A and B are shown apart, each in its own frame.
Chain A
Amino acid sequence: MLLTVLAGFITSIFIIPFGKILKSKWSVLLMALPVVLFLYYTRLIPHISSGGNLLESTPWIPSLGVNLDFRLDGLSLLFALLITGIGIAIYFYARTYLKGHPYFDRFFGYLSLFMSAMLGMVLADNMLLLFIFWELTSISSFFLIGFNNTEPGSRKSAITALSVTGLGGFFLLAGLILLGNIAGTYSISELIHSRDVIIGHPLYPLVLGLLFMGAFTKSAQFPFHFWLPGAMKAPTPVSAYLHSATMVKAGIYLLARFSPVLGNTPEWSYPLMIVGGFTMLFAAYHSLLRTDLKSILAYSTISALGILTFLLGIGTREAVIAASVFILVHALYKAALFLITGIIDHETHTRDITQLSGLRKVLLPVALAGLLAALSSAGVPLSFGFIGKDLIYEATLHTPSSWIFILTTLALITNICLVAAGFMAGIKPFAGPLPEPFKKIHLPYTSMWLPPLILALGGILLGIMPDYAGSLFSLQAANAIFGADTQLHLKIWHGFNTVLVLSLVTLAAGTFIYMINKPGKERLNFVKKLNHLSPEYIMGKSVDAFFRFSEWYTGKFHNGYLRSYHLQIILFAEALLAYKLWLSGPIEIDFFSLAMLSVYEVAIVAILIGALIMMLTTRTRLTAVVSMSVIGYCICLMFVFYSAPDLAMTQFTIDTLTTVLFVLVLYKLPPFLNLGTKKERYRDIAVSLIFGIILCMVALQAHHEPIVTATSNFYGDAAYTEAKGKNVVNVILVDFRGIDTLFETVVLSIGAIGVYNLLRLRLKPSEKE
């Protein structure tokens, strides 16, 4: 399994050196990837459908509890088959769709990366591993949505999608870590054993909230749904793959995966039922208002995701069965409809359903695929959609009696709208008379119309043999979600009962709405008027506000003037030191331990202070430099008084050298200009005085601390006995800390080389500006 996950990553890496070759006929090699993976997982169907599962573990970061643990059970297999199976259709389709595109190779690189990330996510048995793949799907989808990177709209949608799903990922990570800490394990399959601990834990609602945030953002639930219609800017194969069949189902997968561990509590059910229920209704209604084929499909996808969330929220045996079947139903017909839209767009260059009609005359196989997919999406008897729809009603009817009416009505209205939306997307473009401009259209390559036709046919075929589909794909998936045997058994005919009546009502009402629904400009304008209430608008505004804040912040604190950085650093240091001083309490001074004052010392300090004042107030450079050297010599004399002959000598030499250097360099500089304003000057004086006072207090405080003499004593004792030197300071520098001094010499040499070269550097006149 590890290899199947890595295969896509490896492929996308290989595209970097071999991309050019793959743009030619050799691109057919790429098609092998999904085919091989699909065959691999098909081979595993018998093993899994008989109730077994596969485990594989490779150590990765054992110290963090992150291992490459993969586990294949019914739910994972269902998703793996969808990902690879629909992947085959998408790969073949995209190869023709993007033929000759300059970024052909790049596209397949992203797509393979995405497929692998998705596979890894549904197979991961470690929560952190799941998170890593989860984020990888977000990232790779960012590149796919923004694939037409020259279009601003495309880039904007990609960023929106990434920020929404990335935000969700952030919450998800927090939720997973919390869950892992509560349960004491990051292994998903082991979590089930600590179900009681988790549900009884006071942080359980928080864990749920965080996980829901992750799932809702990824699966486009209200109020995070808006990134999905935006993501339709992606090339159609991407929309078909990511935004109908796979990525948006990641959130559903997450909920399904954790349902046996966390589910079936009020905290789990109500949020999911409310959010899912609202989303499915809201989006289904919206899909009727749209005129763009892709928008219709986007909203009906959101609605379908809402249905799935809703069903997982109900969480009864019937609801879980319905969810596990509906995942498959929806993936088949929605991918087909998207691919058909892609063909229409590709051939007619429009996706506006008010303009499209009669295309069956020129695109017959496509029209057939559209019809079959629309029938399945509407749930016409004998299609797989019919079974899916039946099961949804079955689920809402098997709820506590006070809920039956509300939930069933919700599902009924949603389904009616979806029937109409499905017809609008799958039948409307092909029905009616063929307008003049479309007459020249001819059928595209087989590799474009065959994939949607096969997918649509699959939807019908499974509907004719539901028993087969149920036992192979859905039974074990439902068991994995439910955490117990669901005894799923799909039948075409349930007899005359409420469910059948509801199904027929749905179909009739949906067809009726399709007939009378005339989406157009006025409706869209009406929707636009309500725009400022939409979550998308609110999020856009808050992003703008955030940008303005960052701009203001950057302008304020990173204005590029050295002195303002200095000021900030110093003010911060002052605050920190003052706080620390305040904490440490009053300063004590022991006057008896101080050294006595003598006249020379006072005189030297007086000279030093005088020189300092001179230096700070002078207007000529030379005076400032000379004052500096006076200060240096005063310090030098102090070293002499206080038993530091070495320091005195060094200070004397260095001070002289510095002054000479300064004077040599500065003799031609102009006098100081009075550059700052008076206000700035007073502010700076205040800041520096405060700093000086604080430093004085720090020094007093430090001076009062008892001196630890252990180090000094060690050197004093060992200088002669071990290093044979009488001058302890010298012995420390050249012997005990010899290596440090060596490096000091290196620093000096580097400085010298720098000085030498800067002095010798002669710039050409052209380089001067």
Chain B
Amino acid sequence: MELLLILVIGMLYAGGIYFILRRSMVKLLLGIMLLGSATNILIFVLGAIVKGKPPIIGSMQDVLDKASADPVPQALILTAIVISFALTAFAIVLLKRVYALLETDDLDDLNTPEEEDI
């Protein structure tokens, strides 16, 4: 199964990179989201993969069963998901503003005014 997940990671990375090399702002944003998901899974795979044993201490126990899933990558990923949401939400709204102002989705159009100033 890990091999399959690793394949997924590679594909997500490749897709993300392909998208951030495009000129469209929406694609750029989607690319960043893909890269984020890929990284999350990468972190997840680096811990041991365990089925059906969430890192929750049983009701009769004081310590976590050693066979449970690794809690540390999960804590990291949780943080990453939330933070990347903040980024995505802001970027989406920013995109809307840029589109409202310039009526374009082309990143290349964004740096033309600056060049005209020079």
* B87 adjacent to A616 (CB under 8 Å): no
* B85 adjacent to A658 (CB under 8 Å): yes
* A688 adjacent to B101 (CB under 8 Å): no
Query: Which of A21-29, A183-191, A295-303, A646-654 lies at the interface with chain B?
Result: A646-654
Shortest C-beta distance, A571 to chain B (Å), equals 11
Q: A595-B2, A658-B88, A716-B66 are in contact. Are A645 and B11 (CB under 8 A)?
A: no
Q: A696-B7, A715-B71 are in contact. Are A597 and B21 (CB under 8 A)?
A: no
Which residues of chain A are within 8 angstroms of B52 by Cβ–Cβ distance?
643
Count residues of A near B (Cβ-Cβ below 8 Å). Answer: 98
Other-chain residue from B34, B79, B106 in contact with A740 (beta carbon distance below 8 A): B79
**Distance between Cα atoms of A17 and B69 in the complex (Å):** 69
Q: Does A602 contact B (CB under 8 A)?
A: yes
Shortest C-beta distance, A501 to chain B (Å), equals 69
**Distance between Cα atoms of A24 and B25 in the complex (Å):** 62
* A647 adjacent to B81 (CB under 8 Å): yes
* B81 adjacent to A621 (CB under 8 Å): no
* A641 adjacent to B75 (CB under 8 Å): no
Query: Which of A264-272, A516-524, A746-754 lies at the interface with chain B?
Result: A746-754
**Distance between Cα atoms of A748 and B76 in the complex (Å):** 16
Which residue, B57, B95, B101, has most C-beta atoms of chain A within 10 A? B57
Shortest C-beta distance, A671 to chain B (Å), equals 10
Other-chain residue from B33, B65, B68 in contact with A628 (beta carbon distance below 8 A): B33
Q: Does A733 contact B (CB under 8 A)?
A: yes
Q: A595-B1, A662-B92, A726-B57 are in contact. Are A643 and B15 (CB under 8 A)?
A: no
* B72 adjacent to A687 (CB under 8 Å): no
Q: Which residues of B (90-118) have their CB < 8 Å from a CB of A?
A: 90, 92-97, 99, 101, 105-108, 111, 114-115
**Distance between Cα atoms of A665 and B108 in the complex (Å):** 21
* A691 adjacent to B17 (CB under 8 Å): yes
**Distance between Cα atoms of A605 and B70 in the complex (Å):** 22
Which residues of chain B are within 8 angstroms of A638 by Cβ–Cβ distance?
5, 41
* B3 adjacent to A594 (CB under 8 Å): yes
**Distance between Cα atoms of A651 and B15 in the complex (Å):** 20
**Distance between Cα atoms of A644 and B6 in the complex (Å):** 18
Q: What is the 8 Å Cβ interface bit string for chain A, positions 269-305, against chain B (1 contact, 0 not)?
A: 0000000000000000000000000000000000000
Which residues of chain A are within 8 angstroms of B33 by Cβ–Cβ distance?
628, 658
Shortest C-beta distance, A482 to chain B (Å), equals 60
Which residues of chain B are within 8 angstroms of A675 by Cβ–Cβ distance?
22-24, 106, 108
**Distance between Cα atoms of A601 and B49 in the complex (Å):** 13
Question: What bracket does the count of chain B residues touching chain A fall in?
Answer: 35 or more
Q: Does A526 contact B (CB under 8 A)?
A: no
Other-chain residue from B2, B21, B49, B90 in contact with A755 (beta carbon distance below 8 A): B90
Shortest C-beta distance, A670 to chain B (Å), equals 7
Which residues of chain A are within 8 angstroms of B48 by Cβ–Cβ distance?
707
Residue of A nearest to B63 (CB): A717
Q: Does A699 contact B (CB under 8 A)?
A: yes
Q: Which residues of B (1-35) have their CB < 8 Å from a CB of A?
A: 1-24, 26-28, 30, 33-34
* A712 adjacent to B72 (CB under 8 Å): yes
* B18 adjacent to A684 (CB under 8 Å): yes
Q: What is the 8 Å Cβ interface bit string for chain A, positions 236-263, against chain B (1 contact, 0 not)?
A: 0000000000000000000000000000
**Distance between Cα atoms of A712 and B65 in the complex (Å):** 11
Q: Which residues of B (49-67) have their CB < 8 Å from a CB of A?
A: 49-57, 59, 61-66
Which residues of chain B are within 8 angstroms of A594 by Cβ–Cβ distance?
1-3
Which residues of chain B are within 8 angstroms of A601 by Cβ–Cβ distance?
1, 4
Residue of A nearest to B108 (CB): A561
Other-chain residue from A632, A672, A687 in contact with B24 (beta carbon distance below 8 A): A672
Q: Does A612 contact B (CB under 8 A)?
A: yes
Shortest C-beta distance, A579 to chain B (Å), equals 18
* B53 adjacent to A673 (CB under 8 Å): no
**Distance between Cα atoms of A748 and B88 in the complex (Å):** 11
**Distance between Cα atoms of A750 and B90 in the complex (Å):** 10
Q: What is the 8 Å Cβ interface bit string for chain A, positions 710-735, against chain B (1 contact, 0 not)?
A: 01110111011100001111001100
Which residues of chain A are within 8 angstroms of B70 by Cβ–Cβ distance?
707, 709, 712
Q: Does A533 contact B (CB under 8 A)?
A: no
| Chain A residues close to B by CB (< 8 Å) | 560-563, 566-567, 570, 589, 594-597, 601-602, 605, 608-609, 612, 615-616, 621, 624-625, 628, 631-632, 635, 638-639, 641-647, 650-651, 654, 657-658, 661-662, 665-666, 669-670, 672-673, 675-676, 684-685, 687-689, 691-693, 695-696, 699-700, 702-703, 707, 709, 711-713, 715-717, 719-721, 726-729, 732-733, 737, 740-741, 744, 747-748, 750-752, 754-755, 758-759, 761, 763, 768
3 shortest interchain CB distances as A-B pairs:
A692-B14, A716-B64, A751-B86
| Chain B residues close to A by CB (< 8 Å) | 1-24, 26-28, 30, 33-34, 37-38, 40-42, 44-57, 59, 61-66, 68-72, 74-75, 77-79, 81-83, 85-90, 92-97, 99, 101, 105-108, 111, 114-115
Can you list 13 A-B contacts with CB-CB less than 8 angstroms, sorted by A residue number? A642-B50, A647-B78, A675-B23, A684-B21, A687-B17, A712-B72, A716-B66, A721-B62, A721-B63, A726-B56, A729-B75, A755-B89, A758-B93
Q: Beyond A715-B64, A719-B71, list 12 extra A-B contacts (CB 8 Å).
A: A594-B1, A612-B12, A616-B15, A650-B81, A650-B82, A693-B10, A703-B45, A716-B71, A733-B78, A747-B83, A748-B83, A748-B85
